[in-house]
Amino acid sequence: MRKNKHGNFTLFFSAIQRNMDKQKRKSTVKVVEKTVLAPDIGKLPPQARELEEAVLGALMLEKDAYAIVAELLKPESFYDPIHQIIYGAIAGLAMNQKPVDVLTVVEELKRRGELETAGGAVYVAELSERVASAAHIEYHARIVQQKSLARELITFSSGVTQQAFDETIDVDELMQTAEGKLFEISQQNVKKDVMQINPVIKDAMEAIQAAAAREDGMSGVPTGFKELDKMTWGWQKSDLVIVAARPAMGKTAFVLSMAKNIAVNYSIPVAVFSLEMSNVQLVNRLLVNVCEIKGENIRSGRLMPDEWERLDKNSKLLYNAPIYVDDTPSLSVFELRTKARRLVREHDVKIIIIDYLQLMNASGMSFGSREQEVSIISRSLKGLAKELNIPIVALSQLNRGVEGRQGHEGKRPQLSDLRESGAIEQDADIVCFIHRPEYYRITEDEQGNSLLGVAEIIVAKHRSGSTGIAQMKFISDYVRFANMDDNHVGKYVEYESKMNQNNGVAEPQMAATSDFLAQRDMSPPF
């Protein structure tokens, strides 16, 4: 009986032990789950407190140290609020041309009433004791800046994520705002070091020698318009060129004629951003230009047999031309910058044309007026031209001031007629106006010469050269600008050869269209 009783007790305690072991195993599993989740919960923003201390200490050791980091850091670049206050005091002293050391920083913090908030005089003194010199201050400051940018990106992306979950927010507006903010953050990291003049002289000499080797003397991208090229020697690298005119003067026709010349005659890759017309409309305009067929006939498809033949033959000139078109409406500065970089990298584009500036936007940024926004756009275009080292040609509207003036001279546009912003004139390296006297029913000049079909390209500002007026033909039937000595209107168009095969240098030569096509063995795109 005791044995059985003892045996029952044994079974009872064994069951309790098994149950305890089971509960223990469950508890162990839960602990493992918590340790897996803990790292995701405890993430800290990117920071470098030791380097922040090193930078502040170095700034109080050497008087010229602030000049090294002034462009890299601002108070918000520091993660620790105490360090933000101390750096603010140092920056205040430096900008007022006062000495920066431990004693002056402590006094400045006292004056501001921030000494206790900044950790007291003892903490400020300890910062200067933690570094031996300011030898590595720039390297340390760049790391602090990178951490600050990383924190900004985290805050930015978190805000975008939160807003993306909000179904009341329009997605297109959110994308525009996000683009603008990301552009602002990216601009903080765009810095260019100062360089000694020797390598710059070498580059300049190479450019001069290259221009001298060319028979036409072009140092930039040639437009194909002789009188204009004589004044500018082509559109130069890093230049912002503004081409402005009143509506219906032929702004788009001018840049498309120019784009055709650049791509077909000289085989130079060109990109056209059209905010006003679709890709198909742009190509139709180019076909009208090259094939010399009226636009209404192209659009309706009602062509005469000889027009079909011209379309079939001359369209081949455009078929393989290095012209890249983009018809994104309301293009933002950020989008343009991204696409332009890719075009230069992947297709070696040498010039960008924008039709037109006032239709662009600086999305995501806040402005007090449209004039301020246009100022930002023009400044961004100049910056992009310098960054990519290519010319950017942007069309612009003129205000109505021209319409109120009388006479031939009065109708010529002036720099004050640029619409919406004086910053356009300020940022541009070249400002050109298109003027067609015939549009204002002015058919003769003061000497009695006919002005019918005559267009004037007025170079009103030229940062690196002379100003003046380049005359050329405007052929309204074909919406085309041409040189004054162009006698091929209404015939098969003959073009200058692209390259001199003997020496590889671009040289103007006339070739019949049939020979031109035969040499390239082009097949029609139809």
Asked if 373 and 391 touch (Cβ cutoff 8 Å), the reply is: no
Quote the pLDDT of residue 41: 45
**144 C-beta neighbours (distance < 10 Å), count:** 25
Asked if 145 and 47 touch (Cβ cutoff 8 Å), the reply is: no
Helices (H), 320-439: 333-347, 370-388, 407-411, 423-427
Write a three-state SS string for 274-289.
ECCCCHHHHHHHHHHH
As a whole number of angstroms, the distance between CA 490 and CA 404 comes to 37
As a whole number of angstroms, the distance between CA 371 and CA 376 comes to 9
State the DSSP H helix or E strand holding residue 119, giving kind and residue range, or none if neither.
Answer: none
**Coil vs helix vs strand at 473:** strand
The CB-side HSE value for 16 (13 A sphere, CA atoms) comes to 6
As a whole number of angstroms, the distance between CA 234 and CA 228 comes to 8
**In the predicted model, is pLDDT for residue 19 greater than 70?**
no
- Active site positions, annotated: 276
Burial status of residue 438 (CB atoms within 10 A of its CB: 0-12, 13-18, 19 or more): middle
**Non-local CB neighbours of 321 within 8 Å, separated by 6+ positions:** 260, 263, 264
- Band of the pLDDT at 192, cuts 50, 70, 90? low
Instruction: Give the total residue count for the chain.
Output: 526
For residue 118, give both structure tokens: 């900044």
For residue 494, give both structure tokens: 């003959």
CA distances from 326 to 280, 392, 495 (A): 11, 15, 26
DSSP secondary structure string, 482-517?
E-TT---TTS---EE-S--TTTS-----EE-HHHHH
**Per-residue buried b or exposed e for 209-244, using 16+ beta carbons within 10 Å of the residue's own CB:** eeeeeeeeebbbbbbbbbbbbebbbbbbbbbbbbbb
As a whole number of angstroms, the distance between CA 255 and CA 264 comes to 14
For residue 369, give both structure tokens: 């007026």
Angle between helix 251-260 and helix 279-291 axes, rounded to 10 deg: 70
Quote the pLDDT of residue 492: 38
* Average pLDDT value over all residues in the chain: 76
Q: Which residue has the higher pLDDT, 210 or 98?
A: 98
Give per-residue pLDDT as tens, 152-189.
Answer: 888 888 888 888 888 888 887 788 777 767 767 776 66
As a whole number of angstroms, the distance between CA 92 and CA 84 comes to 12
Which residue, 470, 445, 443, is CA-closest to 457? 470
Quote the pLDDT of residue 267: 87
Burial status of residue 418 (CB atoms within 10 A of its CB: 0-12, 13-18, 19 or more): buried
Give per-residue pLDDT as tens, 291-300.
Answer: 777 767 777 7
- Band of the pLDDT at 22, cuts 50, 70, 90? low
Quote the pLDDT of residue 367: 60
As a whole number of angstroms, the distance between CA 228 and CA 458 comes to 9
Give per-residue pLDDT as tens, 296-326.
Answer: 777 777 777 777 877 777 777 777 888 888 8
Asked if 323 and 263 touch (Cβ cutoff 8 Å), the reply is: yes
Low-confidence winner among 27-36, 158-167, 179-188, 477-486 (lowest mean pLDDT)? 27-36
What does the pLDDT average to over 15-31? 51
Quote the pLDDT of residue 20: 55
Give per-residue pLDDT as tens, 327-365.
Answer: 887 777 777 887 888 888 888 899 999 987 878 877 655
For residue 195, give both structure tokens: 């360089």
Alpha-carbon Rg for the chain, nearest whole angstrom, is 34
- The alpha carbon of residue 403 and the mean position of all alpha carbons in its chain are separated, in whole angstroms, by 33
Quote the pLDDT of residue 193: 59
Low-confidence winner among 11-25, 309-323, 363-377, 406-420 (lowest mean pLDDT)? 11-25
Residue given tokens 């939160």 in the structure block: 162
Strand partners, 450: 444
Residue 356, preceding peptide bond in cis (omega within 30° of 0): yes
- ∠ CA(259), CA(263), CA(264), 5° rounding? 110
pTM above 0.85, yes or no: no
Selection from 104-113, 277-286, 475-484 with the highest mean pLDDT: 104-113
**In the predicted model, is pLDDT for residue 482 greater than 60?**
yes
The CB-side HSE value for 303 (13 A sphere, CA atoms) comes to 17
User: Measured on CA atoms in the order 101, 102, 103, 109, is the torsion positive or negative?
Assistant: positive
Asked if 393 and 352 touch (Cβ cutoff 8 Å), the reply is: yes
Burial status of residue 396 (CB atoms within 10 A of its CB: 0-12, 13-18, 19 or more): buried
As a whole number of angstroms, the distance between CA 269 and CA 232 comes to 20
Residue 66, preceding peptide bond in cis (omega within 30° of 0): no
